[in-house]
Amino acid sequence: MSLYIVRAASWQEDALALRAVREAVFIREQGVPAELEWDEFDGVCLHLLAMNPSGNPIGTARLLPDASIGRMAVLRDWRCKGVGSALMDRLLKEAENRQLPSVTLNAQTHATGFYSKFGFQQAGPEFLDAGIPHVKMMLQFRPR
């Protein structure tokens, strides 16, 4: 039996599970103010949800209509177990299926090495978002 599954999710049907992970990681663990965490884009994004064998949410990420990836979060106890990589692999497949030429994301600076493994490259200077250092990163897809 697999340690976890990753599936497509929708805000309309899966908001409680998606919110649970983001609240644990961004709001409680990292101290992001709740008013900065929730935005008008959740309703129009492709969301992914990672779940443990009991069906509990353990990770999430989203792809926005403008080809940016965001709100990638994995619960502390599930980090370094491949959940983040599984989420990113699935998001990149979805982006390629949509024939997007590239995707961008705003990476917390401590996580740039993780994103670099997938081919992302820094595309701007460091900046603060919710008081946390970030850099913009971009991945260009190879033409088919």
The second-level CATH assignment, the architecture, of 5-140 is 3-Layer(aba) Sandwich (3.40)
In this structure, the dihedral spanned by the alpha carbons of residues 62, 129, 59 and 141, taken in order and rounded to 10 degrees, is: 40
What is the spatial distance between Cα 40 and Cα 38, in angstroms, rounded to a whole number?
7
Burial class of residue 95 in the structure, from the number of CB atoms within 10 Å of its CB (0-12 exposed, 13-18 middle, 19+ buried): buried
Tens of pLDDT, residues 52-97 = 999 999 999 999 999 999 999 999 999 999 999 999 999 999 999 9
pLDDT tens, position by position, 37-54: 999 999 999 999 999 999
pTM summary value? 0.93
Rounded to an integer, the average pLDDT of 119-144 is 92
Half-sphere exposure of residue 61, counting CA atoms within 13 Å on the CB side? 25
